[in-house]
Chains A and B, each alone.
Chain A
Amino acid sequence: MELFRVENLSFRYPKAERDALQEINLSVQNGEFIVLCGASGCGKTTLLRLLKKELAPVGEKTGRILYAGAPQEALTNAGEIGFVQQNPESQIVTDKVWHELAFGLENMGLPTETIRRRVGEMASFFGMQGWFRQKTDALSGGQKQLLNLASVMVMQPKLLILDEPTGQLDPIAAADFIATLQKINRELGLTILLAEHRLEEVFPIADRVLVLENGRILLDDEPRKIGLRLSKLHCDHPIMLHALPGAVRIWQGLHIDDTCPLTVREGREFLERHFENRAETLPEPEVPRIGETAVELKNVWFRYEKDAPDVLRGVSAKVYRGEIFCMLGGNGVGKTTALNVLAGLDKPYRGKVLVGGKPIKDYKGGTLYRRGLALLPQNPETVFVKDTVRADLAEILEVMEIPRSEHAAQIEKIAEKLGIVHLLDRHPFDISGGEQQKSALAKVLLSEPKILLLDEPTKGIDAFAKSNLREILRKLKRDGMTIVLVTHDVEFAAETADRCAFVFDGEILSADPPQKFFAENSFYTTAANRMARGLWKNAVTCEQVIEGCRTTGGQL
């Protein structure tokens, strides 16, 4: 049965120069799992919001949207289409978990007994018994997003629309969330329309993939065919280059006539079918020459409160001048705390932190941060305090005591370097996650740091913005900057870092160049490495696997 039908839909925001959506035609069948992808700003959010009439943006709309055969306006029950947004925090309305679950049902005016039963049913479906009576504030990010999903599900929707729901979650919570969506789709037969930029997990479970580009539907097909059709269109499409699952990218790079693999397992089988198992290692690039130490942690111990458990237990690490050092690890192992200690925000109760050979305590006032060390926090929006990006950048120049006559030129220079010239006069909260990231980085860089610390820089940004960030970091490194970053993102670390370190239980366990580092891990490694381990133990990125197949792989 057809649930949704969109006919010739075009949409233009007030005062905009061009249409945000053009001639969209789309049909959604009951029970389908559809993934919508595209670079940020391609119109994903606009399209999704137009489908939910309560959230439809204001603007000029042409074309028709039919829900269950009738015009969308005829639908009166708001609960029939559930909508989950990106930010887990701001969607929660009330202070208690049970009250949040009941919120939608209260709005529908249901009696207490019905609400009690439905809330109980949903809480047990989602396994929320343990935190049912808790305060919403005490939940983790993943739990918050699960609560948002459950409080929509409790209204028994026929269609679930999700706008990048895993953008703010770490990979483990994100995978859990996607698995829950799959369960809802399989077990309840619920129709799901999901916008995502992390396709590794959702590609294999989707029935259909829609690729949106500049407000048009570029492709609408099943996942296996998307890879082929994309490469036929143009092979440098941003989605194709960076966002597709590793298996699809390797398949595309090799041009072999076989069905497109989607998962790691299929990818491995595909490689084994076509290439000989020589168990060779790929040549590794020379280990960069070890220079002077830029920052050093010496047996650092830290806890947040006197009676709280230790978060850092004797962390020791050296970061050399001019390298990109990456700290990896799961949730709550102390990565971010280690970074905050390095930044001088948290003070260890034992051990030493040396910046440029000098104890961090000896930097008084702002001297540590001016032309020294700077931290880009996890939430880039916390960096901005003014009404425009330009004003924010000017502010830091003021503090750096740069004469006012040079401000404009300096701002122009940094904006060009990071590609944010068109954003300078926008409000920092009105731009996308990736753009915010770059603007925040611009502000941080204006303090002319020698050491740059980044906390989860890839959180909430799409694949294209990610590769953009990687280029920027490499450029900064070439200019002599030392970069320390903390991330969950294994792929990003493999492609960016000079050395990777594994953090666990408050300690830094090992620090090696990425190829060596990931070759020794068997779970905590990139998808490409998991596929190609049998062929080359140290092939870590998709490019390396493709390169290996072409050069030393004996094709069967």
Chain B
Amino acid sequence: MKAFANMHPAVSMLYFLSVLLVCMFIPHPVLQAEALLGGALFCAALQKRGAALRDLGFYLPLFLMVAVVNPLFSHNGVTPLFFLNENPVTLEALLYGVSLAVMVIGVLLWCKAYNEIMTSDKFLYLFGKLIPKLSLVLSMALRFIPTYLRQSRRVSRAQKAMGLYAGKSITDRVKNRMRVLAAMISWSLENAMETSASMKARGYGKKGRTNFSLFRFRASDGVLLAICICLLAVPLIGAAVGITDFMYYPRVGVIQTTPAAIAVYAAFGTLSVLPFILEVKEAIVWNYSVSKI
């Protein structure tokens, strides 16, 4: 399941932002349901079957909890269903709770997919363009941390094997930590000298440094980008002209079914299931090409 992950980071980033934006800021039941559906399908496609089922065990209780909590605490609305401790539990509050739960779970699922797709190097690539030094600094930090940890482990083992503060008492342990830390500071400085020599030797510090990355902007990225923009534009326009306005209080509103409204639902629906469609298409193409071999 690699189709969407192989897209250019800028396209993926724009895609995630647009889905999350609509899902969070246009509180319309159809759009939220579509976002939830798309998120669930995408996450299921990204994971192995077992993991997706296990996720269900986490999201279902969360869904019920969020849905139930709202009507217990909010008593707005005009249609009481029953009374709990002399407080009315209303239909409107219940429905609002359900819509809130749909939104929360939808956002969570999309964030999970985001984490899976937007790995640190893609993030670095995108924001390295804005601040060129940042991406190098972060890359160097990512290099330095494991090296430092390994060396500090070596030092404390070496100290232990000489019998220096090898005891289990707290004073021994604290003393040992302090000594190792002191040694690691000198080591880091020494190491940094050699690293900077290696950087200078390769011409670091001249003007006009470029940023290289392995990502390519392919024609398919362009197509996907255009589709995303078009599909995003429809619900945004819809929201601007009031098609997606929806009220829960005091009385639940009506879901519009005008042709314009249907177009908005269809556009956003397509947008949210787009990655899933891509993954399925990829799987079919793969199976087909395997069958030909």
Binding site for B on A (CB under 8 A): 52, 54-55, 77-79, 82-83, 85, 87, 89-96, 98-99, 102-112, 115-116, 119, 133, 135-137, 148, 151-152, 155, 340, 343-345, 365-366, 368-370, 372, 374-375, 377, 379, 381-387, 395-396, 399, 427, 429, 443-444, 447, 453
Binding site for A on B (CB under 8 A): 121, 136, 139-140, 142-143, 146-147, 151, 154-155, 157-168, 179-180, 182-183, 186-187, 190-191, 194-195, 197-214
The verdict on A152 contacting B161 (CB below 8 Å), with A89-B147, A115-B212 known, is no
Report Cα–Cα, A345/B180, bound state, in Å: 17
State whether A105 touches B212 (Cβ < 8 A).
Answer: yes
- Checking B121, B161, B194, B206 against A374 with a beta-carbon cut-off of 8 angstroms, the contacting residue is B161
Q: Give the distance to chain A from B6, nearest Cβ to Cβ, in Å.
A: 13
- Which residues of chain B have C-beta atoms less than 8 A from A83's C-beta? 201
State whether B210 touches A152 (Cβ < 8 A).
Answer: no
State whether A85 touches B187 (Cβ < 8 A).
Answer: no
B146 to chain A: closest residue by CB: A137
State whether A85 touches B198 (Cβ < 8 A).
Answer: yes
Q: Give the distance to chain A from B148, nearest Cβ to Cβ, in Å.
A: 11
- Checking B147, B179, B182, B206 against A137 with a beta-carbon cut-off of 8 angstroms, the contacting residue is B147
- Which residues of chain A have C-beta atoms less than 8 A from B211's C-beta? 106
State whether A91 touches B198 (Cβ < 8 A).
Answer: yes
State whether A395 touches B164 (Cβ < 8 A).
Answer: yes
The verdict on A104 contacting B203 (CB below 8 Å), with A95-B139, A370-B163 known, is yes
B153 to chain A: closest residue by CB: A382
Q: Give the distance to chain A from B127, nearest Cβ to Cβ, in Å.
A: 15
Report Cα–Cα, A133/B215, bound state, in Å: 12
Report Cα–Cα, A344/B157, bound state, in Å: 10
State whether A447 touches B163 (Cβ < 8 A).
Answer: yes
The verdict on A447 contacting B179 (CB below 8 Å), with A109-B206, A109-B208, A151-B202 known, is no
State whether B212 touches A385 (Cβ < 8 A).
Answer: no
State whether A369 touches B163 (Cβ < 8 A).
Answer: yes
State whether B212 touches A429 (Cβ < 8 A).
Answer: no
The verdict on A107 contacting B162 (CB below 8 Å), with A55-B197, A85-B194, A94-B143 known, is no
State whether B201 touches A93 (Cβ < 8 A).
Answer: no
- Checking A106, A133, A151 against B209 with a beta-carbon cut-off of 8 angstroms, the contacting residue is A106
- Which residues of chain A have C-beta atoms less than 8 A from B203's C-beta? 54, 77-79, 104, 107-108, 155
- Which residues of chain B have C-beta atoms less than 8 A from A110's C-beta? 210
Known pairs A78-B200, A85-B198, A374-B161 / 19 extra A-B pairs, C-beta < 8 Å: A52-B201, A94-B140, A95-B139, A98-B214, A108-B206, A109-B206, A109-B209, A109-B210, A112-B212, A112-B213, A115-B210, A343-B161, A369-B160, A375-B162, A379-B158, A382-B155, A383-B159, A383-B162, A443-B162
State whether B143 touches A374 (Cβ < 8 A).
Answer: no
State whether B142 touches A368 (Cβ < 8 A).
Answer: no
State whether B162 touches A90 (Cβ < 8 A).
Answer: no
State whether B201 touches A384 (Cβ < 8 A).
Answer: no
